[in-house]
Chain A
Amino acid sequence: MRAGIVYTETVVHAAAERYAAEAPFQVAIVDLREGGRMTARITGDRVAIGDSVIEIENADSSPDAAPLFRKS
Chain B
Amino acid sequence: MSHAARFAVEAAIVGAGKTAFGAFPDKDLRALAVEAGKKALADAKCGPADIQAFYLGNFAGPEFTGQSHLAPYISTALGMTGIPATRFENACASGGSAFFHAFIAVASGIYDCVMVLGVEKMTSQTTGRVTEILCGAGDWSGEMRAGSTFPSLFGMIARRHMHEFGTTREHLSAVAVKNHENGALNPDAQMRKVITLEQAMNGRPIAEPLNLYDCSLISDGAAAVILCAADRARRFSDKPISVLGIAQASDYVALDRKQDITTFPAVQLAGRNAYAMAGLGPNEIDFAELHDCFTIAELIAMEDLGFAGRGKAGFFTAEGGTRRNGAKPVNASGGLKSKGHPVGATGVAQLCDVVQQLRGEAGERQLRRNSVGLAQNLGGSGASCVVTILGQE
Contact = CB atoms under 8 A, between A and B. Distances in A.
Given A8-B163, A16-B128, A17-B126, A22 B207 contact: no
Given A39-B146, A39-B148, A40-B146, A15 B131 contact: yes
A9 B255 CA distance: 12
Contacts of B149: 12, 14-16
A8 B156 contact: yes
B255 A14 contact: no
B208 interface: yes
Contacts of B378: none
Interface string B125-137: 0111101100100
A27 B205 contact: no
Q: How large is the interface on B (under 10, 10 to 19, 20 to 34, 35 or more residues)?
A: 35 or more
B363 interface: no
B157 to A, nearest CB: 7
B160 A12 contact: no
A17 B131 contact: yes
A56 interface: no
Interface string B247-260: 00000001111000
A29 B262 CA distance: 13
B159 interface: yes
B142 interface: yes
A11 B158 CA distance: 12
Contacts of B143: 27, 39
Interface residues of A, number: 30
Contacts of B254: 39
B151 interface: yes
B14 interface: no
A29 B255 contact: yes
B142 A14 contact: no
Interface string A1-41: 00000011111111111111010110111000000011111
Interface in B349-391: none
A24 to B, nearest CB: 8
B155 interface: yes
A49 B160 contact: yes
Contacts of B146: 27, 39-41, 66-67
A22 B147 contact: yes
B145 interface: yes
Given A27-B152, A29-B256, A39-B148, A14 B206 contact: yes
A15 B129 CA distance: 10
A13 B147 contact: no
A22 B146 CA distance: 12
B144 interface: yes
Contacts of B156: 8-10, 27-29
Given A17-B129, A27-B148, 14 more contacts: A8-B261, A10-B156, A12-B147, A13-B205, A14-B131, A14-B149, A15-B131, A15-B147, A16-B147, A16-B149, A27-B143, A38-B142, A39-B146, A49-B160
Interface of B: 126-129, 131-132, 135, 142-149, 151-152, 155-157, 159-160, 163, 204-210, 254-257, 261
Interface of A: 7-20, 22, 24-25, 27-29, 37-41, 49, 64-67
List of 5 A-B pairs having minimum Cβ-Cβ separation, nearest first = A10-B155, A17-B128, A16-B132, A39-B143, A8-B160
18 contacts: A7-B160, A8-B157, A8-B159, A8-B163, A10-B152, A12-B149, A12-B152, A14-B149, A16-B149, A17-B128, A17-B132, A25-B147, A29-B156, A29-B255, A37-B256, A38-B256, A39-B256, A66-B145
